[in-house]
Amino acid sequence: MSIDLKMTVSGCIRVLVAVTAIASLPFVLATANIRLGTEILILLNLAMLWNLLAGYAGLVSVGQQAFVGLGAYATWMALVWFGFPFWIAVAAGALAAGLAASAFAPFLFRLQGATFAIGTWVMAEISLLVIANTSAVGGGAGVSVPARIAREIAPDRAGRESAIFWTALMVALVVLLSSYLLMRSRWGLALTAMRDEPTASEAVGINTRQVAVSIFLAVAVLTGAVGGLILLAKLRITPDSAFSLFDWTAYTIFIVVIGGIGRLEGPIIGTAVFFTLRVLLADFGPVYLIILGVLGIAVMLFAPKGIWGAVQTRTAFSALPVNWPFRSIAIQPNLKIPAEETKQ
């Protein structure tokens, strides 16, 4: 166990150094680059959350944009109607998404596999239509955060971008840390077991429905918080942008699949690859999307476990190990191996 402790301490130090480095970026970067940083963190958050849902719990949702959109709109309401500070408004976005998820869950969890995926899509379309037809939140035209309220976050633009960047970083840390702790707990074992074999999971005492609903709700809450961040970063949302299947779910799935689904490192690698490609191919217009598509297909064909999965298979290296190696406990030498039985 001392080895474990040593690894934990050194891991914590490494994470702390990395977080401090990332958190101090706004002091050295230009405002435009801080913005890009926030955008990266937002997609990273969505990717980590989708990975938790699809990669670990086996719940393939193509409707997470419902919670992004509802979170963004609820954050707007909390900011503009009730005048809450921005971080409480983001929490309100999270809460609203959680409430919406608990309303949809009884219907969605009657469905399984592909029909579940379609159900989540329907959920997102319903959410979009409800918002787009509500004139109090601007209907189809959308809403903006008034300059007065934007100035309350920070008086100047650079300060505001930094504040939003740090909030996004904090959400990312919450998501990463809670995913890690979840996967290290017995519930992490239950999630993986459920994904692999639902029938046998029940037979070993797991309430698979309860676990699936819980993870769905938790992911929805955090996705709602990311929706709030998106509102703060954009300051203007429309139903089409806030509930965008393309921006909040399709890219997210691409990131997770190329990075490595069902691995905590996967979304991080995938996000890095995605934004590198975006910067490199920015001048090519639609060709950029074609290249993304080809890359996605190539990864699925030649490295179905994603880039990180391929690295892991070759090197057995894991930056964020969540498996339970048997070797970490002392094997008692007095346990005899019944070798004589096999030799009969």
Q: Which residues bind other proteins (CB under 8 A)?
A: 186, 189-190, 192-193, 195-197, 199-208, 262, 323-327, 329, 331-332, 335-338, 341-344
Minimum distance of other proteins from residue 112's CB (angstroms): 16
- Closest separation in Å from C-beta 197 to other proteins: 5
Rounded Cα gap, residues 66 and 19, in angstroms: 30
Which C-beta is closer to other proteins: that of 285 or that of 325? 325
Q: What is the C-alpha to C-alpha distance for residues 266 and 258, in angstroms, rounded to an integer?
A: 8
Q: Which CB sits closer to other proteins, 45 or 208? A: 208
Q: Which SS3 state, helix, strand or coil, does residue 281 take?
A: coil
Record the tokens describing residue 42, joined without a space.
């937002």
Number of other residues whose CB lies within 10 A of the CB of residue 343: 6
336: its two tokens: 């005899």
Is the CB of 221 or the CB of 256 nearer to other proteins?
256
Handedness of CA 104, 107, 113, 119 (dihedral sign): negative
How far apart are CB 214 and other proteins at their closest, in Å? Answer: 15
Looking at the Cβ atoms of 148 and 343, the one nearer to other proteins is 343
CB closer to other proteins, 224 vs 266: 266
Produce one character per residue of 69-94: b if its CB has 16 or more CB atoms within 10 Å, e if not.
Answer: bbbbbbbbbbbbeeebebeebbbbbb
User: Which DSSP letter does residue 330 get?
Assistant: P
DSSP state of 331: P
Beta carbon of residue 190, minimum distance to other proteins (angstroms, whole number): 6
In whole angstroms, how close is the CB of 326 to other proteins at the nearest point? Answer: 4
Residue whose structure tokens are 């699936």: 212
The single residue listed with the structure tokens 């094997």 is 331
The CB density around residue 24, as the number of other CB atoms within 10 Å, is 10
Q: Which is nearer to other proteins, 193 or 319 (CB)?
A: 193
Instruction: Tell me the closest approach of the beta carbon of residue 336 to other proteins, in angstroms.
Output: 8
| Two structure tokens written together for 220 | 């929805």
Q: Which is nearer to other proteins, 38 or 201 (CB)?
A: 201
Are the C-beta atoms of 32 and 219 separated by less than 8 Å?
A: no
Query: Given the complex with other proteins, which of 204 and 298 has the nearer CB atom?
Result: 204
Smallest separation, CB 50 to other proteins (Å): 18
The pair of structure tokens assigned to 11 is 């891991």
Sign of dihedral through CA atoms 250, 257, 63, 145? Answer: negative
Q: Under the phi-then-psi rule, with left for phi > 0, alpha for psi from -120 to 50, and beta for the rest, what region is 138? A: left
- Which residue lies nearer to other proteins by CB, 51 or 244? 51
CA neighbor of 57 nearest in space, from 204, 208, 200: 208
Minimum CB separation of residue 324 from other proteins in Å reads 5
Q: Largest Cα–Cα distance of the chain, in whole Å? A: 85
Q: How far apart are CB 320 and other proteins at their closest, in Å? A: 16
